[in-house]
């Protein structure tokens, strides 16, 4: 896999996100309250809202636009809503984060 360094976990606020621009688009990298890191496409499957500006709770994020809840683990919309965003593999080496874009930009199904 082709890993790309994206910074340190401390660059991301607890229960927050950082946006990483890549040629394929924007990726939202989230840090949960338990210090887990997840990366998903920064585009809500509903109407493209910026998920990186949403509220993180557990292993999910609530979209800031219309409150869809998206799983950070598999990119799926939770509850009654249907849709998914792509998930991107993240590696955490003692706090140094990398993402992999190939074959990462695959649809989460
Ligand atoms: S754009 Fe995210 S809930 Fe509507």
User: Is position 108 within any domain?
Assistant: no
Question: Among the atoms of ligand 1, which is closest to the Cα of residue 64?
Answer: 2
pLDDT at 104 over 80: no
Q: Indicate the top mutation candidate among 41, 46, 71, 84 to test ligand 1's pocket, ranked by most ligand atoms within 8 A of CB.
A: 46
Percentage with pLDDT > 90 across the chain: 86
- Total domains, the chain: 1
With a cut of 90, say whether residue 24 has pLDDT above it. Answer: no
Side-chain half-sphere exposure of 5, counting CA atoms within 13 A: 6
Range of the structural domain that residue 55 is part of = 3-100
User: Is residue 15 included in any domain, yes or no?
Assistant: yes
Q: Which of 79, 78, 69, 75 minimizes the C-alpha distance to 90?
A: 75
Q: What's this model's pTM, rounded to 2 decimal places?
A: 0.91
Tokens of 65: 């636009």
CATH code (residue 63):
2.102.10.10
Question: 32: Cβ–Cβ under 8 A, 6 or more apart, which residues?
Answer: 15, 38, 56, 58, 59, 72
CB 41 within 8 A of CB 65: no
- In a domain? residue 109: no
Is 106 within a domain? no
Show the tokens assigned to 43. Answer: 């585009």
Indicate whether 94 belongs to any domain: yes
């Amino acid at each position: 896999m082709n890993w790309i360094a994206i910074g340190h976990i401390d660059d991301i606020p607890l229960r927050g996100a950082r946006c990483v621009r890549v040629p394929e688009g924007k990726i939202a990298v989230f840090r949960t309250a338990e210090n887990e890191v997840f990366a998903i496409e920064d585009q809500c499957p509903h109407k493209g809202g910026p998920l990186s500006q949403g509220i993180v709770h557990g292993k999910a994020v609530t979209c800031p636009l219309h409150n869809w809840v998206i799983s950070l683990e598999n990119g799926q919309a939770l509850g009654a809503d249907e849709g998914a965003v792509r998930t991107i593999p993240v590696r955490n080496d003692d706090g140094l984060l990398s993402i992999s874009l190939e074959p990462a930009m695959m649809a989460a199904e």
